[in-house]
């Protein structure tokens, strides 16, 4: 009897629990209002009313079901797990509002657009140069060439961060490949900024200065003969080394093939190191002409060393190729390479509208001739061996801006001397003994460099035969938006 009574009692408890669960599942109406508990009927935390879930819990160990509210519960949107996505990545590649206040236009710098958070910026500018050149050679009629010298589009700014800068420059005149510059610059570290891409090498001051910011219609003969032009590579630099406002440097490694030559034939590279010292503080020393006309002396000195290993061209990364071109009736070079050393010293001085630029360049190289047996090939037997272009060059130019007028008078003297330079590793030279230039000009700066009209007259001669040289007159209009 006792066992039967216990079984009946357990069945009753289970039936009561099942009935409560069924009733809750069937109840779809509004939630039942419960009367507030009366202090007189409150029997403590452990007391329950008959048939409540707590009693079932105490006797069976089962957890009671939560009472239904009877209302439709809102669907909870499942969030995509993002524990594998780097923090901030989606926001970085998402939309960035443009700050209208930070959208500006400046002549020479173009249209500047910037995002509100400063992580993105785009500058768009255009520059054209129209040039007319008249040349009179000894005992020859004058020759005139009118040309569109430059037609450039420049895009520059920063992306994803204020410390990641970029520049892309196109020139429609530069055919068949219109691209001129393309590089990224990582400026997070003041003393170790990294630049990678194709750009103008900082071999000497005249070359490092933009072609848009020259005092003469074009650069000097020293630059044409000795400067290292654009190349593809990477460098580490600082525009304010150690934060002293007095020093800059560049250390770089480049392909050594020149502009838009993307395939290296061997591991012969071009290595460059440059150091600049500005004793009175940093200033606009790469922009020729002293537009600020500050009555305070400003001075910059710089030294550069470069080594081109297995150079394939007569001037390093420019000039004619040493490589053999074998075509019937079109024999151009005997092949081989050259190891070249370059040394540059330059300076810039500015004070109250007066500017003075000085440069000294030296190149010494030794040829490594081709192993091709051209003596037994009738197509190449007549090709002469090209000697290195070893020598020394100098250039001095000065300019003076008339007070309170946008007029500048400029003068230049340059000289190039061929020399074997055996003490620097040279073995011979194909440069003329003396090649000189003297020039004078006038500049009308309508809006400084962005809009200017320039004219210069130059006398060019070799050795000491001044009267037999060429006379060249040039006029150029530049407009930069």
The half-sphere exposure of 71 on its side-chain side, counting CA atoms within 13 A, is 6
- Tell the burial category of 244 from Cβ atoms under 10 Å away from its Cβ (0-12, 13-18, 19+): exposed
Give the pLDDT of residue 431. Answer: 86
Q: Sign of torsion, CA 196 198 203 206?
A: negative
* Host H or E run for residue 56: helix 53-60
Which two tokens mark 264? 């290296």
Cβ–Cβ under 8 Å, residues 453 and 477? yes
What average pLDDT does the structure give for the chain?
82
> Which phi and psi (to 5°) does residue 10 adopt?
-65, -40
Per mean pLDDT, which range of 26-30, 82-86, 444-448 is the poorest?
A: 26-30
pLDDT tens per residue, range 116-162: 999 999 999 999 999 999 999 888 899 999 999 999 999 999 999 99
Tell me the average pLDDT across 327-342: 70
CA distance 280 to 298: 6
CA distance 259 to 201: 11
- Tell the burial category of 34 from Cβ atoms under 10 Å away from its Cβ (0-12, 13-18, 19+): exposed
Tell me the average pLDDT across 423-429: 72
DSSP code of 380?
A: T
CA distance 460 to 437: 5
Residue for token digits 């490949």?
A: 177
Give the pLDDT of residue 439. Answer: 98
CA distance 172 to 129: 12
pLDDT band at residue 279 using 50, 70 and 90 as cut-offs:
very high
Cβ–Cβ under 8 Å, residues 205 and 302? yes
Q: In angstroms, how far apart are the furthest CA atoms of the chain? A: 144
* Host H or E run for residue 474: strand 470-480
pLDDT tens per residue, range 437-453: 999 999 999 999 999 99
pLDDT band at residue 44 using 50, 70 and 90 as cut-offs:
very low
Give first-to-last CA distance, the chain, whole Å.
Answer: 109
Give yes or no for residue 344 having a pLDDT over 90: yes
Task: Decide: helix, strand or coil at residue 141.
Answer: coil
Which two tokens mark 68? 């239904």
DSSP code of 109?
A: T
Cβ–Cβ under 8 Å, residues 362 and 395? no
Domains of the chain, earliest start first: 127-154+208-480 (2.40.160.10)
Q: What is the pTM for the complete model shown?
A: 0.78
Which two tokens mark 286? 């790469």
- Tell the burial category of 152 from Cβ atoms under 10 Å away from its Cβ (0-12, 13-18, 19+): buried
Give yes or no for residue 373 having a pLDDT over 80: no
CA distance 456 to 133: 10
CA distance 272 to 476: 33
| Torsion angle of the four alpha carbons 329, 332, 334, 340, in this order, in degrees rounded to the nearest 10 | 180
CA distance 442 to 460: 19
Which two tokens mark 246? 């007095």
Give yes or no for residue 56 having a pLDDT over 50: no
Give yes or no for residue 379 having a pLDDT over 80: no
Tell me the average pLDDT across 39-47: 41
Which two tokens mark 64? 């009671």
Q: How many CB atoms lie within 10 A of CB 355?
A: 23
CA distance 133 to 477: 12
Give the pLDDT of residue 393. Answer: 96
DSSP code of 206?
A: H
């Amino acid at each position: 009897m006792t066992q039967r009574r216990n079984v009946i009692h357990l069945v009753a408890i289970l039936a009561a629990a099942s009935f409560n669960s069924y009733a809750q599942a069937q109840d779809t109406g509004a939630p039942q209002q419960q009367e507030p508990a009366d202090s007189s009927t409150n029997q403590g935390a452990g007391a329950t009313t008959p048939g409540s879930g707590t009693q079932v819990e105490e006797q069976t160990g089962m957890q009671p079901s939560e009472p239904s509210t009877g209302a439709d519960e809102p669907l909870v949107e499942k969030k995509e797990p993002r524990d594998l996505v780097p923090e901030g990545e989606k926001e970085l590649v998402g939309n960035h509002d443009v700050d209208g206040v930070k959208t500006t236009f400046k002549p020479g710098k173009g249209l500047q657009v910037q995002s509100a958070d400063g992580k993105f910026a785009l500058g768009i500018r255009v520059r054209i140069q129209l040039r007319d050149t008249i040349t009179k050679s000894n005992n020859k009629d004058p020759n005139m060439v009118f040309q569109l010298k430059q037609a450039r589009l420049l895009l520059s700014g920063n992306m994803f961060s204020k410390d990641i800068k970029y520049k892309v420059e196109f020139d429609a005149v530069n055919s068949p490949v219109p691209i001129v510059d393309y590089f990224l610059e990582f400026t997070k570290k003041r003393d170790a900024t990294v630049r990678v891409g194709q750009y103008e090498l900082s071999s000497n001051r005249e070359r490092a200065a933009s072609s848009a910011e020259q005092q003469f219609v074009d650069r000097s003969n020293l630059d044409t003969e000795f400067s290292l032009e654009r190349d593809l590579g990477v460098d580490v630099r600082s525009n304010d080394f150690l934060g002293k406002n007095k020093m800059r440097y560049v250390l770089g490694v480049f392909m050594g093939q020149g502009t838009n030559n993307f395939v290296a034939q061997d591991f012969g590279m071009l290595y460059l190191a440059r150091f600049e010292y500005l004793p009175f503080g940093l200033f606009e020393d790469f922009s020729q002409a002293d537009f600020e006309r500050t009555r305070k002396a400003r001075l910059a000195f710089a030294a550069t060393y470069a080594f081109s290993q297995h150079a394939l061209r007569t001037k390093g990364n420019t000039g004619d190729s040493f490589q053999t071109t074998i075509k019937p009736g079109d024999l151009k070079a005997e092949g081989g390479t050259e190891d070249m050393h370059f040394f540059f010293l330059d300076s810039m001085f500015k004070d109250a509208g007066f500017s003075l630029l000085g440069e000294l360049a030296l190149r010494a190289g030794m040829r490594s001739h081709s192993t091709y047996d051209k003596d037994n090939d009738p197509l190449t037997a007549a090709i002469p061996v090209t000697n290195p272009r070893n020598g020394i060059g100098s250039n001095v130019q000065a300019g003076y801006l008339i007070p309170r007028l946008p007029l500048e008078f400029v003068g230049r003297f340059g000289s190039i001397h061929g020399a074997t330079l055996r003490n620097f590793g040279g073995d011979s030279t194909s440069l003329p003994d003396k090649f000189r230039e003297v020039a004078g000009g006038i500049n009308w700066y309508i809006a400084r460099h962005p809009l200017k009209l320039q004219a210069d007259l130059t006398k060019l001669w070799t050795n000491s035969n001044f009267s037999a040289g060429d006379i060249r007159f040039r006029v150029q209009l530049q407009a930069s938006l």
